[in-house]
């Protein structure tokens, strides 16, 4: 019960924090110089979204490596679910970052799209995430699916640095770089920076919260599938909590060998 209270507190804190970021973005931070109209305010959401997509990408790669090479000889499906949840969220945040970026680009550069290196890399990330999910859909067997998808995500982790460090250097970029620039200095109004960092922290927490939710939903789905295969319909609800809450575990279910084995396997 203590854990759930902590979760609820965290959730409320996160809502308040993000609400404060929104207020701060419009009322506290000044407008940036040389930006048309109010367009610079999108920065406080666009950059953290891209950041969250980046974290998602790294998280998926790390989870995949842990799935493949950790826990030998028996692989832990938890890491596979974590990787999949991260990829899905990466797709979501990546799309949001792309759309907000395109809107801003239309205002500032006059075109929705111009193959800026960062646009190239986010599109590659989106395609990669889509390809990962397509690969998962194309494999029937759960263990094989997890293994192949994890290998693919790990390959993606190897290729990513080329998008972040190499490709931007061979093509011309219009992207404003006050934060991520070559000289390593932050060139930004302090108030704007405060809101941006707060927003970045908020989005990071939002990502991990959503990731936790999604991983648990996937765990329930997996349990339900296994239970359906084993013919024990109750087991799905039990497994989702890691350890069974007392009010759900009924005497009959716990004695059922199929249910018991699933709980230990999780």
Specify the DSSP class assigned to residue 27. I
Tokens of 112: 């929705």
Name the one range near another protein by CB under 8 A: 3-11, 78-86, 145-153, 228-236.
Answer: 145-153
Q: Quote the least distance from Cβ 111 to another protein, whole Å.
A: 19
Task: Tell me the DSSP string of 105-159.
Answer: HHHHHSSS----HHHHHHHHHHHHHHHHHHHHHT--SHHHHHHHHHHHHHHHHHH
Give the count of alpha carbons within 13 A of 110, CB side only. 0
Question: Residues 51, 203: contact at Cβ < 8 Å?
Answer: yes
What's the length of the chain?
A: 266
Closer to another protein by CB, 173 or 249: give it. Answer: 173
Task: Rule CB under 8 A: say whether 152 interacts with another protein.
Answer: yes
**Which of 1, 169, 252, 264 forms a contact with another protein (CB under 8 A)?**
169
**Rule CB under 8 A: which of 77-136 touch another protein?**
120, 124-125, 127-128, 130-131, 134-135
Question: Residues 187, 181: contact at Cβ < 8 Å?
Answer: yes
In this structure, the dihedral spanned by the alpha carbons of residues 18, 19, 23 and 28, taken in order and rounded to 10 degrees, is -40
Task: Rule CB under 8 A: say whether 174 interacts with another protein.
Answer: no
Task: Rule CB under 8 A: say whether 147 interacts with another protein.
Answer: yes
**Rule CB under 8 A: which of 204-263 touch another protein?**
none
**Rule CB under 8 A: which of 63-82 touch another protein?**
68-69
Number of residues lying near another protein (CB under 8 A): 36
Residue 145, phi-psi category: left (phi > 0), alpha (psi -120 to 50), beta (remainder): alpha
Task: Rule CB under 8 A: say whether 138 interacts with another protein.
Answer: yes
Q: Quote the least distance from Cβ 110 to another protein, whole Å.
A: 21
Task: Rule CB under 8 A: say whether 54 interacts with another protein.
Answer: no
Task: Rule CB under 8 A: say whether 151 interacts with another protein.
Answer: yes
Give the count of alpha carbons within 13 A of 30, CB side only. 7
C-alpha–C-alpha distance, residues 137 and 190, integer Å? 47
**Which of 12, 15, 113, 162 forms a contact with another protein (CB under 8 A)?**
162
Residues that bind another protein (CB under 8 A): 68-69, 120, 124-125, 127-128, 130-131, 134-135, 138-140, 143-144, 147-148, 150-152, 154-156, 158-159, 161-163, 166-167, 169-173
């Amino acid at each position: 019960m203590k854990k759930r209270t902590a979760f609820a507190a965290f959730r409320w804190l996160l809502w308040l924090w993000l609400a404060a970021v929104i207020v701060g973005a419009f009322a506290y931070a000044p407008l940036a110089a040389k930006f048309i109209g109010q367009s610079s305010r999108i920065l406080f959401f666009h950059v953290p979204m891209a950041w969250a997509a980046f974290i998602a990408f790294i998280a998926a790669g790390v989870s995949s490596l842990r799935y493949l090479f950790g826990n030998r000889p028996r692989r832990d499906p938890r890491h596979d679910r974590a990787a999949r949840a991260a990829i899905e969220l990466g797709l979501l945040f990546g799309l949001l970052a792309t759309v907000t970026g395109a809107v801003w680009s239309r205002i500032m550069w006059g075109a929705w799209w111009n193959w800026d290196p960062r646009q190239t890399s986010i599109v590659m990330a989106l395609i990669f995430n889509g390809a990962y999910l397509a690969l998962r859909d194309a494999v029937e067997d759960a263990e094989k699916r997890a293994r192949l998808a994890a290998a693919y995500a790990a390959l993606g982790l190897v290729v990513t640095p080329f998008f972040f460090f190499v490709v931007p250097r061979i093509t011309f970029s219009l992207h404003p770089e006050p934060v991520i620039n070559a000289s390593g200095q932050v060139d930004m109004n302090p108030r704007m920076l405060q809101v941006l960092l707060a927003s970045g922290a908020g989005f990071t927490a939002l990502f991990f919260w959503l990731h936790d939710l999604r991983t648990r939903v996937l765990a329930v789905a997996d349990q339900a599938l296994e239970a359906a295969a084993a013919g024990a319909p109750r087991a799905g609800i039990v497994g989702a909590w890691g350890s069974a809450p007392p009010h759900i575990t009924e005497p009959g279910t716990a004695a059922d060998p199929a249910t018991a084995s699933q709980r230990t396997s999780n």
